[in-house]
Each structure stands twice: as C-alpha cells, then as structure tokens.
C-alpha cells in the first residue's frame, strides 16, 4: 500500500479503537441494567452516541478513499 496514496490502516485503527471504547461503554450499561439501575444504564448508553457517529464518519471516509483509489487506478 505504500506509495499508493492514503493508507487505510489509519482509518481502520481509529475505527477499532472507537468500537473497543463503545463495547466497554455498552458493557457498563448492561451491568447497570442487570443491577436494576435502568436510569444509569440509559445515561451510560447515551455516551455511545458520539462514538458511533465518529465510527460512521470514519467508515464513510474509508469507503470514499477506496473509491478514489479505484478510480485513480482506472484512469492511470
């Protein structure tokens, strides 16, 4: 991949990091819900909103980079 434009590993590493964080948050919310603290579980689960939005944005960027690379190869 070196020398072929943007390295997609950067995007993938960021996605992995954020999804790992999201999984930890979700597990904490589940633990609260199982303990009967529904309000706290919901409060914690709301923290997923920003992380999941970032993951969606990174995924979209990754797809765009892939399309641009394919188009560049087709033109060259």
Average pLDDT, the chain: 90
Does 26 reside within a domain? yes
Does 36 reside within a domain? yes
Does 42 reside within a domain? yes
Question: Would you state the pLDDT for residue 7?
Answer: 79
Mean pLDDT for each consecutive 10-residue tract of the chain (76 residues)? 66 96 98 98 97 97 88 73
Q: Domain of 38?
A: 8-70
Provide the b/e sequence for 43-64 (b: ≥16 CB within 10 Å). ebbeebeebeebbeebeebbee
Residue (of 52, 72, 71, 63) closest to 11 by Cα position: 63
Does 76 reside within a domain? no
DSSP state of 4: S
Residue (of 23, 24, 26, 14) closest to 56 by Cα position: 14
Q: How many domains does the structure of the chain reveal? A: 1
Question: Would you state the pLDDT for residue 71?
Answer: 86
Does 33 reside within a domain? yes
Does 75 reside within a domain? no
């Amino acid at each position: 991949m070196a020398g072929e434009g943007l390295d997609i590993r950067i995007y993938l590493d960021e996605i992995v990091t954020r999804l790992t964080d999201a999984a930890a948050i979700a597990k904490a919310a589940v633990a609260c819900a199982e303990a009967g603290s529904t309000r706290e579980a919901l409060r914690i689960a709301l923290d997923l909103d920003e992380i999941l939005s970032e993951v969606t944005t990174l995924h979209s960027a990754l797809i765009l980079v892939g399309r641009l690379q394919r188009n560049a190869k087709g033109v060259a």
